[in-house]
Amino acid sequence: TQLLEQSPQFLSIQEGENLTVYCNSSSVFSSLQWYRQEPGEGPVLLVTVVTGGEVKKLKRLTFQFGDARKDSSLHITAAQPGDTGLYLCAGRNSGNTPLVFGKGTRLSVIA
């Protein structure tokens, strides 16, 4: 079973601050995805990364896939209260295997 470790588990910051959350594994993934989940809702896909070293930007969010495809990071610039939520990374090693999820980072951005 592949394990994805996310850190930190909880993060509370002030509006306007920058932050980075991490997703690490000892396994190699063919692709890795990041989702955001809000209370009472299902996770919503933010990005998919597939190439080692790949960097993708989504407005103030920057996602990076590690060169060895074992880890990923999510950096948020100038966090806003609307960024509050549970951030989940999920990886797949190959083919038809379903996504394996990390335990998430719960982010709270205080105005």
Partner 1 sequence: DTAVSQTPKYLVTQMGNDKSIKCEQNLGHDTMYWYKQDSKKFLKIMFSYNNKELIINETVPNRFSPKSPDKAHLNLHINSLELGDSAVYFCASSPLADRGYTFGSGTRLTVV
Residues 25-54 interacting with partner 1 (rule: CB under 8 A): 30-31, 33, 37, 40-45, 48
* Binding-residue total with partner 1 (CB under 8 A): 25
Q: Applying CB under 8 A, which of residues 19, 56, 62, 101 lies at the interface with partner 1?
A: 101
Fill in the amino acid letter for 16: G
Q: How many CA within 13 A on the CB side of residue 83?
A: 28
Alpha helices in the chain (DSSP H): none
Close Cβ partners of 51 (under 8 Å, ≥ 6 residues apart): 65
Chain positions contacting partner 1, by CB under 8 A: 30-31, 33, 37, 40-45, 48, 86, 88, 90, 92, 95-101, 103-104, 106
